Amino acid sequence: MAFGTIKKVALVLVVLWIGTLCYLWFPNLLPDLVKSKLPNKLSLESDHHHGNIKFRHVAAKLNESKEVIHICITSDEHTIGGMIALINSIISNTKSDVMFHLVTDETSMDQLGIWIQKSKLSTINYEIKKFPGNWVEGKINVRGGRKELGRPLNYARYYLPKLFPTLNGKIIFIDDDCIVQGDISELYQTKVNPGHLAAFSEDCTGAAKRLTYMKNIYADYIDVKSKHVQLMKIDPQECAFNTGLFLTNITEWRIHNITQQLEYWMQLNTKEEVYGNERGGGGSQPPMMLVFYKKFSKIPAMWHVRYLGWTPGTSYTTQFLRSAKLLHWNGRFKPWGRTSQHSEIWDKYFIADPSHRFHPVRKAIV
């Protein structure tokens, strides 16, 4: 009996010894095993591709889904409340399986993770990644226009394959000053014609042209006198498009080196004027207009009703806005600001920040 007990103790000690050696030799093995047993829990894990930290929550059923809709949203500490409202609007209007790929700055990572976990959004499928600001360091020159367009997160859309190296296939990018009122699966099914690399919304016709008082053509955004632009034989009268919403294929993005092409125009613009002083301003849009010139399909008009942030006054009728599938407050007047049109629509989807760091600014009621 005593001999049997000794054998059991010895066996336990051997197992513990082997376990200790495995932990020392393979430190990443144990955390991975633990995480694999907890598919529905919030995990804080290391992104070994770029050394970033990310929160991740993926339900087990998502892996069994025939089609998952992948959506990327980027935001920083100034606009993060917009990301929350956008996510809420998407899940409130679809029954499809959605995976959110959320990109933010280091300051906002914990805030965003806690915000999601302590709200009705706790069951969504998502990952949060920090955008490395050094990727765009020395490459941004906004020149004229709004200086906030020079914030690093505004250029995270350029780096989709680098941010998500294991992701392939279709993905939707949506600016954080948007609200989705339609079923996002409908937008996901937008046809991208052969030879095209993405789908965008054209800006030179309809309400977009009327509201901006510009022709919204390439000459409004690009210095067409630049010798480098002239080599592309771009028609200055070609219709411009809005880059705040687009559908693309991340695999094709890699194959055609889109990120490298965008960086080329960014860096060139720091050395000589290619864009930024035109009426349309600078920011992340002009390089995308150059790279995707005549290589994009069209997003249906009601899936991108924009320029709600162009003026503080009402631009659309309430009836028209109810029928819109996606609303975009592009411009200075954001829906979380003091002066914004139709902010009541945005308020319907906003969820209060449990950390009390983000507060929509509203006019005092007298």
CA proximity to 179, closest of 92, 275, 77: 92
Instruction: Check whether 46 has a pLDDT greater than 50.
Output: no
Instruction: Check whether 209 has a pLDDT greater than 60.
Output: no
The three-state secondary structure class of 14 is helix
Stronger pLDDT, 119 or 54, i.e. the higher one: 119
List, for residues 105-114, the tens digit of each pLDDT value.
Answer: 999 999 999 9
Residue 146 banded pLDDT, cuts 50, 70, 90: confident
User: 25 Cβ partners below 8 Å, 6+ apart?
Assistant: none
On whether the CB atoms of residues 257 and 278 are closer than 8 A, the answer is: no
pLDDT (average), residues 191-220 = 82
pLDDT for res 19: 59
pLDDT for res 48: 36
List, for residues 211-243, the tens digit of each pLDDT value.
Answer: 656 788 999 999 999 999 999 999 999 999 999
Instruction: Check whether 52 has a pLDDT greater than 90.
Output: no
For 196, other C-beta atoms within 10 Å of its C-beta total 18
DSSP string, 31-61: HHHHHHT-TTS-EEEEETTTTEEEEEE--GG
List, for residues 53-67, the tens digit of each pLDDT value.
Answer: 568 888 867 766 678
Stronger pLDDT, 196 or 147, i.e. the higher one: 196
Tokens 């392939």 found at: 168
Stronger pLDDT, 35 or 274, i.e. the higher one: 274
% of the chain exceeding 70 in pLDDT:
80
pTM: 0.85
List, for residues 332-362, the tens digit of each pLDDT value.
Answer: 999 999 889 999 999 999 999 999 999 999 8
* Length, in residues, of the chain: 366
On whether the CB atoms of residues 180 and 89 are closer than 8 A, the answer is: yes
Residue 8 banded pLDDT, cuts 50, 70, 90: low
pLDDT for res 200: 97
User: Minimum mean pLDDT among 42-56, 67-81, 193-207, 285-299: which range?
Assistant: 42-56
Residue 29 banded pLDDT, cuts 50, 70, 90: very low
pLDDT (average), residues 189-214 = 82
pLDDT for res 33: 38
pLDDT for res 9: 58
pLDDT (average), residues 89-94 = 98
pLDDT for res 155: 97
DSSP string, 142-204: --SS-GGGGSGGGGGGGGHHHH-TT--SEEEEE-TTEEE-S-HHHHHT----TT--EEEEE-S
